């Protein structure tokens, strides 16, 4: 009786009044904000896996340079770029737009995610910068650039905080190793559910902290990857390759000195500014070459460079500047990079990675897709001998 009366009453209410009533109920049902209700992190499904169609797509977002949001102005946009209406929110809209268009399986934020000098509260700024990834429930991994720590949090605190954020797969540092910096970790991408390689990492991602600034013999320079990090990297790669010779990708913010030489040896994309690397060469390229598994390195830092060039068989690719509060160039759209890996189709199920491709997306009217290229393709003669042993098999 009471229930049907209530239903009849509700039916008579104008919709807006009903909405207000529901809102009121929601407030009543909301837990006491002062009560200690533990909020558990919304975790990404781990391990990450290739999709059922045998693909895995990574979106690289380089140099968002996020500040305080709507109040933080754009830099280097053309006069028709919105003027005073152009802010950090344009960076957010661009991120939503590329997520909608590409539906990535992972987003890699490769440093200078926030621009410390313009961020009043580092945590607040980071939450806003990353929010589209969380909104779309896309797993994401982040590393630090040279500007992230210039606000209210140290590099360690930033990595710790990012490791605890929703859908983050970021880690502070690898357990069991004493490594320099914060944000050195490995993420393995496993075979799809239902495949024979469901328990095997078929694509390895290495994230490294390339530091911020250093002084060498009294001269200021950028940071570099230290020997302790390379020790971990070599050991991890060696361990992984005991079971499967899976290709790998490395992500770090500051380019290595050899990237400069690509000006002479060739590149695809735009090389519009000097490579702002460290004066110290710590042998990263030698290490990567000796490891053998890394096929491409994804870089940030130099916003006007978005090229890929090959050094000793390894591609070095810039993401290209993404953020509107970062320096850029008017009439040269902000951009993002996609790294797309596909598995080989076996007779009964998906096999190992067959190819890795890349392209970029511009924040122009059409969200133009440019500079498509193949970064790696498994040579046919060795494709059947790559699986050395299967864990659990």
Ligand X SMILES: *[C@@H]1O[C@H](CO)[C@@H](O)[C@H](O)[C@H]1NC(C)=O
Provide the binding-site residues for ligand X, judged by CB under 6 A: 74, 77, 81-82, 85-86, 90, 196, 198-199, 392-393
Least separation in angstroms between residue 54's CB and ligand X is 16
Report which residue's Cβ sits closest to ligand X: 82
Least separation in angstroms between residue 353's CB and ligand X is 18
Partnered with residue 268 across adjacent β-strands are 308
- Minimum CB distance to ligand X smaller for 43 or for 393: 393
DSSP 116: G
Least separation in angstroms between residue 329's CB and ligand X is 12
Least separation in angstroms between residue 336's CB and ligand X is 14
Give the other-Cβ count within 10 Å of 318's Cβ. Answer: 32
- Minimum CB distance to ligand X smaller for 61 or for 254: 61
- Using CA atoms, how far apart are residues 284 and 297, in angstroms rounded to an integer? 11
Q: What is the helix (H) or strand (E) element at residue 95, kind and residue range?
A: helix 88-102
Beta strands in 285-349 (DSSP E): 294-299, 308-311, 314-318, 335-345
Residues 6+ apart with CB under 8 A from 219: 279
DSSP 363: S
Q: How far is CA 32 from CA 23, 29, 36, 264, in A?
A: 16, 9, 9, 64
- Minimum CB distance to ligand X smaller for 81 or for 174: 81
Least separation in angstroms between residue 102's CB and ligand X is 19
Least separation in angstroms between residue 192's CB and ligand X is 11
- Minimum CB distance to ligand X smaller for 95 or for 298: 95
Chain centroid to CA 241: how far? 24
- Using CA atoms, how far apart are residues 252 and 261, in angstroms rounded to an integer? 19
Length of the chain: 393
Partnered with residue 321 across adjacent β-strands are 62
* 36 CB burial (10 A radius; 0-12, 13-18, 19+): exposed
- Using CA atoms, how far apart are residues 374 and 295, in angstroms rounded to an integer? 11
Least separation in angstroms between residue 153's CB and ligand X is 28
Least separation in angstroms between residue 331's CB and ligand X is 10
- Using CA atoms, how far apart are residues 4 and 184, in angstroms rounded to an integer? 61
Q: At what angle do helices 155-164 and 122-135 cross, to 10 degrees?
A: 30
- Minimum CB distance to ligand X smaller for 198 or for 311: 198
- Minimum CB distance to ligand X smaller for 275 or for 362: 362
- Minimum CB distance to ligand X smaller for 295 or for 360: 360
Least separation in angstroms between residue 393's CB and ligand X is 5
For the chain, how far is it from start to end, CA to CA, in angstroms?
63
């Amino acid at each position: 009786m009471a229930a049907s009366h209530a239903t009849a009453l509700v039916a008579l209410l104008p919709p807006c009044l009903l909405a207000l009533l529901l809102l009121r109920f929601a407030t009543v049902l909301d837990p006491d904000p002062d009560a200690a209700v533990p909020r558990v992190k919304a975790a990404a499904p781990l391990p990450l896996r290739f999709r059922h169609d045998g693909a895995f797509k990574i979106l690289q977002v380089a140099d968002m340079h996020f500040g305080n949001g709507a109040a933080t102005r754009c830099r280097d946009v053309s006069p028709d770029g919105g003027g005073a209406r152009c802010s950090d929110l344009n960076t957010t809209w661009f991120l939503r737009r590329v997520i909608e268009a590409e539906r990535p399986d992972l987003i890699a934020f490769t440093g200078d995610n926030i621009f410390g000098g313009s961020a009043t509260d580092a945590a607040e700024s980071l939450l806003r910068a990353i929010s589209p990834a969380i909104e779309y429930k896309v797993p994401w991994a982040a590393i630090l650039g040279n500007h992230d720590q210039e606000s209210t949090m140290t590099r360690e605190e930033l990595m710790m905080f990012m490791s605890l954020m929703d859908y983050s797969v970021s880690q502070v540092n690898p357990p069991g190793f004493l490594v320099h910096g914060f944000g050195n970790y490995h993420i393995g991408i496993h075979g799809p559910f239902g495949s024979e390689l469901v328990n095997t990492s078929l694509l390895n991602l290495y994230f490294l902290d390339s530091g911020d600034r250093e002084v060498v013999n009294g001269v200021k320079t950028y940071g570099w990857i230290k020997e302790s990090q390379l020790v971990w990297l070599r050991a991890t790669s060696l361990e992984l390759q005991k079971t499967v010779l899976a290709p790998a990708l490395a992500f770090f913010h500051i380019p290595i000195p050899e990237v400069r030489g690509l000006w002479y040896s060739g590149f695809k994309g735009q090389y519009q500014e000097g490579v702002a690397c460290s004066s110290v060469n710590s042998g990263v390229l030698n290490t990567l070459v000796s490891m053998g598994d890394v096929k491409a390195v994804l870089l940030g830092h130099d916003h006007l460079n978005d090229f890929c060039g090959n050094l000793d068989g390894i591609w070095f690719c810039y993401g290209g500047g993404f953020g509107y509060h970062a320096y850029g160039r008017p009439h040269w759209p902000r951009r993002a990079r996609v790294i797309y890996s596909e598995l080989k189709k076996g007779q009964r199920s998906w096999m190992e990675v067959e190819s890795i491709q890349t392209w970029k997306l511009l924040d122009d009217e059409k969200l133009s897709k440019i500079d498509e290229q193949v970064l790696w393709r498994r040579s046919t003669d060795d494709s059947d001998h790559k699986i050395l042993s299967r864990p659990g098999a």
